[in-house]
Every structure is written in structure tokens, then in C-alpha cells.
């Protein structure tokens, strides 16, 4: 059975009109189209009781899959939640990269003191293992790249202390996901429908990003291999062209996740394992196909855009041998399992008691602010991330 997507989703433009460019201008990863589709299809993996909770709100779960994109226009540190440049720190299988955020901070962070004369001193890692320093200061702001140490915690007499959280600059997706999973557990425990739906939609976005190979590397848009534009090509152009007619999203039923930390890291490592083929096949096809046949003008949503020609995209899609479909399928079943597992970990609260009540007004206010910023502001972070 195939699902007709054209009647379900508003497909946003993938690229800006930039004639004369050798590659299209990238837009948010996985594209709005794929993020919305993944969230929507994940609902149908749920057991009957959760299906009855989510299905009446199918439109919400789908439409708000892109809210984390919009938060990049408000929150300075939002972009880093969508990727992890794991190959910056180590080589596959990345055994040297800590799997918990506490360990990553202690390994990659730098504690410095600044004297009244402006001299800086870098301190050895032993000082970072102070639980007082971590618990009182760093933990609450652990996704910021620079954290001021209050005077009440003395590192060195008459000197200001700063913690440089360097690893944040290279992405925190698998770490942040684990925290956000606990937010979903708490949302179920709260009994608030609005909180459950909001966090459920958000976590689907981050989980989708974790399945994208180009979200796991410093070479996130082919900029290190002269393949600029490959990010949106893989995650946006291909799903838009081929998902409706070619992809099967009957992926089975959600199951309980025993270890959330291992779960998200397995996803990241699997995605990174596809990276070589993602880059290699595009480079080989770009060399073999006439440049004049690689990019074309295309009409979409009453706009003329400059993007990969359908024939070039089809050649790349065939070379990938189902990779994009498989990664979308994997995201869908993983997301259903995340929703189901969070409900289990919350103690399986009675879903009939969940109400649309006290959080609704506040969440609506936040959403209006988000939409306004998205339309009027400039986003933080990498231009391709969402």
C-alpha cells in the first residue's frame, strides 16, 4: 500500500531562485515535507490506546514537526541541537567520543581564568571534575558555548573564571535528544495534552535529523569536498520527487526502548555509516553527467526555482539504492517507539485523564511568537540545519 502525500502536505520551496549558480541554495534539512511526513506516519505505529490519543491530532503532529526549525530564529543555541560533527572528535566507530553529556563536557570543555591584566590561564582537566562546579554552574547551562563562573566559586584568587564548552560548537544532537526524551516522559506525567503534543512533535524533528548522514559530519554540505548543495539534494529534493510514488511507509509497530542512550547513538552511527556513499555517488555522477543537465529551472508552488534536474536526481536516487527511503522508514518506526517508551517510562498514565487544559494558552502564545520570528528574523547557526 502506498500513501498519496500530495493531498496531505504543503510542500515548501526547496531552493531560492539563484540563476548562474552551480548548485542550489540549501534550505532546512530533511525539508519541511519530510519532517511533516515522518511525524504523521509515526502515529500509525502506535498501539491502540496511544493511537486514540494521537490520531485526532494528526494535523498538529505533522504541522508542528518543523517548530524546531523556527526556533532557530529565536534561540542562539538551537541550531547545534540538530547535528553532531562526530568525525571532528574521532574516527569511526568513535569509541573515544563520550556518550553522555556530562562526560563530553568534562573531556572537551576548557576552564580558563582571566586576570585583572587580561592574562588567561588554561586549567588542567582535574579542575573540571569538581561536582560543585558542574552541578552548581555548568549543568543548568550545559548547551551554551561559554559559561561564566560566579565569584562565589573560587578557581583562583582575584581572577574571573570562564568555562568554554567547545564541544557544543560541533553539535549536541544525541546529547540533547536524551534530555528531550525526559521532557516527553514528564509531559505524559503532567496529564496535559498540549504539552504531550508539543514535545512529541519536537522530538520527531530531532530524531529525523539524527537519521540524516550529513548531520553527523563536519562536511555537512559537501563544502570540504567541493560538493556544495548536496545536503538539500539528499534530504529535500529526493524525498519530494520520489516519496509519493516510490516509498512504502508501512513499517510495523512501535516497541519499547530499553536504553535511550544506546538507541540514539546507534542511530547516529548508522547514519554516519552511509556518509561515504552519499558523497561518493554524487561526486561520480557529477563528473559523468553533462553540467548543463544537472540543474534546471522548475515551477513549484507558483515560484520558479533553480534546482537539480529530475533526471540527475533520479540517477542519484538509483545509485543510493533505497537509502533515503530506508532512513525515513527507520525514523518513523523509531519515533513511534520513542512516544510509546516515554509513556511506559512515565508509569503508563491513564490516557483518558489527559486533558487539553492549563498549558494551552501559554503554548499558543509561544507558538505565535515563534511564527512571527520565523517570518521576520534571521536564523542563527548553519544555514542548512533545521
Would you say domain 31-91+171-376 falls under CATH 1.10.575.10?
yes
What's residue 75's pLDDT?
79
Residues 6+ apart with CB under 8 A from 126: none
Question: Cell 513549484 maps to which residue?
Answer: 300
Determine the angle formed by the axes of helices 275-288 and 260-273, rounding to 10 degrees: 20
Residues 6+ apart with CB under 8 A from 24: 14, 15, 16, 18, 229, 232, 233, 295, 305, 306, 307, 308
Backbone phi and psi for residue 149, each to the nearest 5 degrees, phi listed first: -90, 125
If you write DSSP's letter for every residue of 167-187 in order, what string do you get? GGGG--HHHHHHHHHHHHHHH
Separate counts of helices (H) and strands (E) for the chain: 15, 6
Compute and round to an integer the Cα radius of gyration of the chain: 22
Backbone phi and psi for residue 306, each to the nearest 5 degrees, phi listed first: -110, 115
What's residue 355's pLDDT?
79
What's residue 20's pLDDT?
39
Round to whole Å and give the CA distance between 386 and 367: 17
Chunk the chain into consecutive blocks of 10 residues (it has 386) and report each block's average pLDDT, rounded to whole numbers. Answer: 31 34 41 90 97 95 92 83 96 95 86 79 60 82 89 71 88 97 96 94 97 97 96 93 92 98 98 98 97 88 83 97 98 98 97 75 63 60 53
What's residue 196's pLDDT?
95
Q: Give me the residue spans of the domains in the chain.
A: 31-91+171-376, 110-164
Round to whole Å and give the CA distance between 275 and 353: 45
Round to whole Å and give the CA distance between 74 and 87: 28
Q: By the 8 A CB rule, do 257 and 182 touch?
A: no
What's residue 365's pLDDT?
64
Amino acid at each position: 500500500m502506498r500513501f498519496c502525500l500530495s493531498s496531505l502536505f504543503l510542500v515548501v520551496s526547496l531552493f531560492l531562485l539563484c540563476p548562474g549558480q552551480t548548485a542550489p541554495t540549501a534550505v532546512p534539512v530533511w525539508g519541511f515535507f519530510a519532517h511533516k511526513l515522518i511525524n504523521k506516519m509515526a502515529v500509525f505505529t502506535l498501539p491502540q490506546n496511544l493511537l486514540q490519543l494521537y490520531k485526532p491530532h494528526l494535523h498538529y503532529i505533522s504541522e508542528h514537526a518543523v517548530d524546531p526549525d523556527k526556533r532557530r530564529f529565536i534561540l542562539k543555541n538551537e541550531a547545534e541541537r540538530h547535528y553532531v560533527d562526530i568525525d571532528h572528535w574521532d574516527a569511526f566507530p568513535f569509541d573515544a567520543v563520550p556518550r553522555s553529556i556530562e562526560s563530553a563536557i568534562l573531556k572537551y570543555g576548557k576552564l580558563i581564568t582571566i586576570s585583572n591584566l587580561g592574562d588567561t590561564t588554561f586549567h588542567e582537566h582535574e579542575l573540571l571534575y569538581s561536582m560543585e562546579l558542574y552541578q552548581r554552574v555548568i549543568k543548568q547551562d550545559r548547551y551554551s558555548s561559554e559559561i561564566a563562573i560566579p565569584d562565589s566559586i573560587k578557581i583562583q584568587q582575584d581572577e574571573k573564571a570562564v568555562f568554554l564548552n567547545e564541544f557544543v560548537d560541533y553539535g549536541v544532537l544525541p546529547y540533547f535528544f536524551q534530555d528531550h526524551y525526559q521532557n516527553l516522559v514528564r509531559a505524559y506525567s503532567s496529564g496535559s495534552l498540549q504539552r504531550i503534543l508539543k514535545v512529541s512533535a519536537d522530538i520527531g524533528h530531532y530524531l529525523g535529523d539524527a537519521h540524516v548522514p550529513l548531520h553527523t559530519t563536519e562536511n555537512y554540505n559537501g563544502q570540504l569536498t567541493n560538493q556544495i548543495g548536496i545536503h538539500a539534494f539528499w534530504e529535500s529534493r529526493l524525498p519530494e520527487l520520489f516519496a509519493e510514488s516510490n516509498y512504502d511507509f508501512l513499517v510495523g509497530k512501535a516497541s519499547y526502548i530499553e536504553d535511550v542512550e544506546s538507541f540514539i547513538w546507534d542511530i547516529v552511527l548508522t547514519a554516519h555509516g552511509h556518509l561515504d556513499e552519499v558523497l561518493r555517488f554524487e561526486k561520480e555522477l557529477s563528473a559523468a553527467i553533462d553540467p548543463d543537465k544537472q540543474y534546471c529551472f522548475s515551477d513549484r508552488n507558483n515560484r520558479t526555482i533553480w534546482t537539480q534536474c529530475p533526471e540527475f536526481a533520479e540517477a542519484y536516487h538509483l545509485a543510493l539504492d533505497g537509502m533515503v527511503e530506508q532512513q525515513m522508514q527507520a525514523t518513523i518506526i523509531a519515533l513511534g517507539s520513542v512516544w510509546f517508551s516515554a509513556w511506559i517510562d512515565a508509569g503508563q498514565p491513564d490516557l483518558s485523564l489527559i486533558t487539553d487544559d492549563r498549558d494551552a494558552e501559554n503554548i499558543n502564545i509561544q507558538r505565535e511568537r515563534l511564527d512571527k520570528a520565523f517570518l521576520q528574523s534571521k536564523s542563527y547557526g548553519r544555514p542548512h540545519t533545521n
